[in-house]
Amino acid sequence: MVKIAIAGGSGNVAQEIIDVLVASKKHEILLLSRNDAPAGSVVKGVTWIKANYEDPEQLAQILQGVHTVLSFVAISGDAASTIQRNLIDAAILAGVKRFAPSEWSTSGLKHLSWYAYKAEARQYLKELNKDKKVLEYSLFQPGLFLNYFTSPYKSSKHLHAMEIPFDFNNRRALVLDGGDDDRITITTVQDLANVVAKAIDFEGEWPVVSGIRGVDMSVREVIALGEKIRGAPFAIEKLKTSELESGEWKTSWIPRLDHPSIPVEQVDIFSRIIVAGVLLAISAKGYTCSDEWNQLLPDYKFTNPEEFFTEAWRGKQ
């Protein structure tokens, strides 16, 4: 049993992981949030702590006795990753053994400007350990969540059902012209949560890059699977790189990326930016992740996409 602190623990991906950790009944869990605990949020085995991420000394006091920190903090406008730097500094001051920065997505960051804070955190951690190991850390990277392909229907308890360029519901897709063979790592959020729980119990040293590969598929294969599951051809619109880079692209529809971190009044603007960035990042191999945890946990069986989709879309028009 170890003490775990989850920063930004009220977020939907963090909540998926917390549920698995709570169910294991192995660990003491601290949920760090900038906000007060909402009414009725008390979960046995989880202690909610209001944290000031701008105060490393206060954070260090909170993290006393903590073995592992999982960070899910992602602050709009914090491209310098000041908050994560403070959290890292506090973890070192408190003698934390393991730290997972706020990754939980892609391996590459090119074209993904909203992930600038991830790049800064990666570089900061690398510099800290340049001469000697100051903090054991790992970048958990599962690629794109399989659960997004069931939008508007939820296929997990907490993950927000968000539209993406592969719209299984309306049998359509936006793809980069010439990008049919580009590959994507796709993993369920449930598999991510299970692997993270096993990683916390793992007695060996964490790899710096923690690739988690549910399945690796080409854009062509993703669409073909969607057509099979949904029982009809998809309407495919192809976009040129130059159009996406200039922001002048036009399509008959635009995925609405209404992520909880995006202010409602900015969803339409950011949807265009994110869709263009995601399509370009897929082409740049940013969504192709490695398989370190697949190798370290050879007995773990990852979710089969076809079986997952068959069940998720059963009975839906």
Q: What is the pLDDT of residues 114-135, one digit of tens each?
A: 999 999 999 999 999 999 999 9
Q: How many domains does the chain have?
A: 2
Q: Judge if 118 and 161 occupy the same domain.
A: no
For 108, the domain range is 3-137
Q: Judge if 282 and 163 occupy the same domain.
A: yes
Domain membership flag for residue 271: yes
Q: Judge if 297 and 233 occupy the same domain.
A: yes
Q: Final residue of a domain: which of 100, 116, 137?
A: 137
Q: Judge if 180 and 222 occupy the same domain.
A: yes
Q: Judge if 85 and 170 occupy the same domain.
A: no
Domain membership flag for residue 201: no
pTM score, two decimals? Answer: 0.96
CA atoms within 13 A on the CB side of 219: 26
Query: pLDDT digit string (tens) for 248-271?
Result: 999 999 999 888 778 888 889 999
Q: Judge if 122 and 155 occupy the same domain.
A: no
Query: pLDDT digit string (tens) for 140-158?
Result: 999 999 999 999 999 999 9
Is pLDDT of 42 > 80?
no
* 249: CATH: 3.90.25.10
Q: Judge if 151 and 117 occupy the same domain.
A: no
With bands split at pLDDT 50, 70 and 90, how would you rate the model's confidence at 78? confident
Domain membership flag for residue 197: no
